[in-house]
Amino acid sequence: MAEMLVVRSKVKEAAKGMNVAGDFADCLSEKVQALINDASRRAKENGRATVKARDL
């Protein structure tokens, strides 16, 4: 598994009043990594070395 990009305690805190399965944070971290990868690709395609909000 890749490095964890989300903080499990913060995920639980954000899911107010809900139980959070043990694998939820892992899956969320994978999705965050995919978003970062896509945004990085868009920035490169636009000739930038800086990822910006608009790349999301």
3 domain residue, yes or no: no
43 inside domain = yes
Query: Is residue 20 predicted with pLDDT exceeding 80?
Result: yes
Domain with 45, as residue range(s), is 8-55
**pLDDT range class, residue 1, cuts 50, 70, 90:** low
Note whether residue 34 is domain-resident: yes
CB 1 within 8 A of CB 26: yes
Mean pLDDT of 13-41: 96
Q: What is the mean pLDDT of residues 1-20?
A: 92
Asked, for residue 46, whether it belongs to a domain, the answer is yes
d(CA 47, CA 37) in angstroms, rounded, equals 15
Dist CA 12 CA 25 (whole Å): 9
Domain membership of residue 44 (yes or no) is yes
Q: What is the pLDDT of residues 37-47, one digit of tens each?
A: 999 999 999 99
- What pTM does this model have? 0.87
CA distance 3 to 39: 18
At 2 the pLDDT is 75
H or E element, residue 28: helix 24-45
Considering its fold, how many domains does the chain have in total? 1
